[in-house]
Amino acid sequence: MEMDWLAADLVELASGYTAEAADHRPASTLTNVLVVFQGGFLHIRHHGADKRIQVVSAPAVRRVVYTES
């Protein structure tokens, strides 16, 4: 599946939700990540060699900050 990734400066998750930060620790705020919005979900990937993708549902997302390309 081809995804059009956006560079996001900030992803904030709602209270009680976490995702894996670049240092592999749980975090509710992620910075400098790649994101794709798709079908009510946010796909999150860190820059670099780590190609793992985390998926969170829309209700888990508080805010995403990115620059339109």
CA 50 to chain centre: 13
Does residue 17 lie within any of the structural domains?
Answer: yes
Enter the pTM of the model: 0.90
Within a domain: 15: yes
Q: Flag whether 1 is in a domain.
A: no
Q: Per-residue pLDDT averaged across 18-41, rounded?
A: 96
Residues 6+ apart with CB under 8 A from 48: none
Residue 10 confidence (pLDDT): 98
Average pLDDT of the chain?
A: 94
Full domain range(s) for residue 20: 6-66
Span 33-53, pLDDT tens digits: 999 999 999 999 999 877 899
Ranges 21-25, 46-50, 63-67: which has the least confidence: 46-50
Structure-model confidence comparison of residues 50 and 56, the more confident one: 56
Total domain count, the chain: 1
